[in-house]
Structure 1
Amino acid sequence: MAPPLPNNRDPSKQPLVTDLSHSSAPNVVPEASPPTGRSYCPCFTTIFLVLSVLISGLSHFTFYLSNNCSKAEEVVQKICEPQLVRVKLFTETTIPDFSMSPIAVDIASKCEDIQDCLSPVKCPRLRALSPLPDRCPIFVFFNIRFLECRQKLLESSESECVRAFFKPGPLQCHLLNEHVDCVLKYIDDLCYDDVVDYAFRKQIDKCPWSSLKAAGSQIDSGMALGVCGWIGAFLCCVFCSGMVCFIIFGGTIFVGFLALFTAVHECTGADLKNAELCIPITAELGNATLNFEPKFDNTQELERLIKLCGDATRCIKNVNCLSPRLDFIKTERNHCDVYTFIKEEFGTCAAKLKQKAQEKNVDCLKFLFQEKKCDKWLDNQACIDKEIQAECGVEILKRFGTISKEFRKGACKVIPGARR
């Protein structure tokens, strides 16, 4: 028998033979499947958070730099603050008129003075604490900067619209808008100044009651915005989920509330007419209280102002929308409360105090019944309170304390250190 041939072949190069009969399961290679969708949400969230941190840090750093005010600016702001409070009161209680009345000219001059006073203050934080009253540009423009052009209009034009525009007394905004195009035509012809033309239109657009005129369209647009917002929120919630839906839905609720709040505050229809009828009454009351400082004694002028307060209060009751009511409450109501208290509740007490002031020569009581009291009110306040408690009782003293705060707020500038 011949010997077997030697196996000279390399085992590593031998073909691999698998005995399928002894394997428990076939070695099946799985088919390749397409890659699953990759989620980018964590990546976007991380980028968003990083950017938010960077923007927040930059904002805080910028805020710190812009609000780092100097001591000199703080001193100037404190010096100007009492004057600013008085000017703000004047502008809020006086409807601008374009006839150059003494009151309007005086307010325009005061507005320029307070602007000059605050001009050294550049720090945004202090400027935000002491903003120039909103109506100051209107008074300054029509009583100072528009003076030359106004004179040309009155001398060279016999137009009814020009005469109506500059007639004495406060004008209602719908009358201004009725004549503004006609007046602008004469400004173009006589003043030859595009800047004046632009400034004129800009100031008329700031008419204090112009928001009433456009109230109807604001309510309609607010309702349309609310409906569209709810539809958009519903669709987004169908296609989105989680935080996205929460943000969109919450934003829609906020916008809808804002539109509703604006609609409630504005006037339309009969309310608009009633509000405009009250303008001359509240304007007369505001002008009358500008330079009137009550002596806590019943006088003829006080009687006239109380009558005006009654007329204004009865008129404003017919206005159901909030804007004119809020304006009246913020301005004239404080004055009216002071006048009514002096005449009705404080009358008997005032008679006792006046008698004691004359018989016993009490300086603080003499001060209470003099015309000018604001500057030295703090020096006499404790003595006045003591005398009122002794002569009139604790209840009248409490009521006097409340009214004296309204008096200082309405008729006086801010008195440093006065009890609030």
Structure 2
Amino acid sequence: MGITHRTLVVSTTVVMTALVAVTGAGLHWSRSLAGFRQSPKELVDEVWQVIDREYVDATFNGNDWRAVRREFLSRNYTKPEEAYKAAREMLEKLNDPYTRFMDPEQFRSMQIETSGELTGVGITITQDEKTKEITVVSPIEGSPAAEMGLMAKDVILKIDGKSTKGMDLNQAVSMIRGPVNTKVRLTIRRGNQILNYEITRARIEIHPVRYSLRQTPQGPVGYIRLVTFSSNAAGEMRAAIRELEKQGVEGYVLDLRSNPGGLLFASAEIARMFLKQGDIVSTVNRQGEAERLRAGRGFLTDKPLVVLIDGGSASASEILAGALQDNNRAILVGTKSFGKGLVQSVQPVGEGAGIAVTIAKYFTPSGRDINKKGIEPDVEVTLTEQQREQLTRDDIATDRDPQFMRALAVLNERILAQRRNPQSARPTQGPNP
């Protein structure tokens, strides 16, 4: 059974990315805002109905969902902002950081984010379910946040001097967002250190794929860095592989480190470029119905492949890495991934607003549920805190990058093994599906 093509997001960026929308990015609203202002209660009921119809947990995290509806529809709402607040309050009862309401500005930002046109500081953040701390999933490569040195797992303690204790994700993002060339001050906890950053917001041009040819003892290899699974990621990946194939590469290093995820179908399309056959991912909804995405079209290369992952590799990155590992197509090098095994559907509600709702769990081809567990690499290469801090953007994928150098060594071993025995082209490490 195939998964119906709709807006499915498997990224922690659905939780929130601290960006502001580029105004006028080709978005069209079918109804006027004036109509909504006459009946804001309709939005609250629409949000309730989406959850009632689609939410992955049929118990609604132990809530009497019909009683919730009665509670919120018994209130009077005189303006949209009151309905927005009520919608967020309602969703908080689910205790699911990935299911959230977006006002029109936030919804436009999310849509533009997946299209690859962004402005802001460029960090993807989430809220820890237990501690409620606001945590950086990863900075977007090339963004102001990345240039200033923010890292995955950094905890944001203050925003412009205001404590984030008790602050919800929407409020945090609203404070971090702002116009281009304005500044925001973030106080970060990293391990035992307290660090302060002043970051200038900027326009961020995101090309999800960067690639280069690298010379190794076993011949030229292709290095491909994928920073996000946006709508143009598959097209750029296809072009990169084809160009590197023309240059006669012997194998590939695919770098998914600090990639927070994105669109489910972008992940599947990229997996198909490396897989001739086999399952890519299965999803299970609240009825227990399993749907699968499979390889079988779009295949481009069967040359040896090594994939780099770390704690900032989340959701769509984990789907791709898990598919390649479970199908014995690639060796994974680095550290354990983030651990998000949930799928969200993103859809409009009201007049220009939107909702991201968790509709399914996903499993790797071998049936692994990686939610809150992550994917373990086949070859672990852990960086010390000092190494992480010293590793600048210019050091990535150079001889100053220990994880990359180990990935190259592993790839060269695979290339050499394939020459000696063509049947050994696929790695034997990792679980069998």
Same fold by TM-score greater than 0.5: no
Higher strand share: 2
| Higher relative contact order (Cα pairs below 8 Å, separated by 6+ residues) | 2
Higher helix share: 1
Larger Rg: 1
TM range (shorter): under 0.3
